[in-house]
Amino acid sequence: MSSPLARRAALALLAAVVPGVTPFPAAADEVLVFAAASLTNALDQVAAAWTAETGHTAVMSYAGSSALARQVQEGAPADLLVLASTDWMDAVEASGGLRADTRRDILGNRLVLIAHGPDVPPVTMDERLDLAGMLDGGRLSMALVEAVPAGVYGKAALTSLGLWDDVEPRVAQSDNVRAALALVARGEAPLGIVYATDAAVEDNVTVIGTFPEGSHAPIAYPAAITAQSDSGVAATFLDFMTSDTARAIWQESGFSVLD
């Protein structure tokens, strides 16, 4: 267990190195949640519904799953960890960073190809797609392909379809999937690979194709209470994330609910 003073100091230090971390300590009726950036809009709504129902508060910190996992492994004062990668959650669990018997897979998602602007015609996502030609000298926006789940899934899908070698020199990598989405939304990259739920919150992009499920590993979002959590309501919020109220929010946002 960490003392309130140590928790405050650790969170203030974390705020300086991880974008999105809010430098406020979690009190007895608060829970500090480290969550994958792709969950931002929907999880904010879930947290608001939880607050309305219970009076408790969830302090949210969004970033790439790899960054969050490493921070928890280094002792960051999170109560709950929700990642877009079972591999990164495996790593945290193997290092002793999770409370025993609290881990569960709660959500699923789909991987899509997006284009800048409205009314872009759809394409067929198979090995015949001339993705390099579609870029026309521009960049393919992706999250980090060796670390961030959306990027890892994206590289795997392109490799499975035989497209990776042709587009690899044109890939622009970002620290998280929302940053990859933003490059396409601003027109700085003509195409990008993100989750379907990310594309749904951005008006300046069009989904032009959905990757076949068999082209990459299943997309799952595991959640767990961290080993160092001293929040009295962490388990309550973890349960609420798969309640009927939360389920409606997740599904409205385009996620599939697994738990």
Contacts 24+ apart (CB under 8 A), 166-172: 166/131, 166/132, 167/131, 167/132, 167/135, 167/140, 170/132, 170/135, 170/138, 170/139, 170/140, 171/139, 171/140, 171/141, 171/142, 171/145, 172/139, 172/140, 172/141, 172/142
How many Å apart are CA 147 and CA 127, to the nearest integer?
25
Delimiting residues of CATH 3.40.190.10 domain(s) in the chain = 4-108+220-257, 111-215
Which stretches in the chain have pLDDT values below 50?
1-6, 8-9, 12, 20-28
Residue 208 · residue 114 · CB < 8 Å: yes
How many Å apart are CA 242 and CA 30, to the nearest integer?
19
* Domain spanning 4-108+220-257, CATH class: alpha beta
How many Å apart are CA 182 and CA 112, to the nearest integer?
15
pLDDT reported for residue 147: 93
pLDDT, tens digit, 9 for 90 and up, residues 39-74:
999 999 999 999 999 999 999 999 999 999 999 999
pLDDT reported for residue 47: 98
Query: Is the domain 111-215 a CATH 3.40.309.10 member?
Result: no
Closest of 206, 47, 9 to residue 112, by C-alpha = 206
Residue 110 · residue 196 · CB < 8 Å: yes
pLDDT reported for residue 25: 43
How many Å apart are CA 85 and CA 221, to the nearest integer?
6
**Secondary structure letter of residue 63 according to DSSP:** E
pTM over 0.95: no
Cross-strand bridge partners of residue 62: 35
pLDDT reported for residue 146: 96
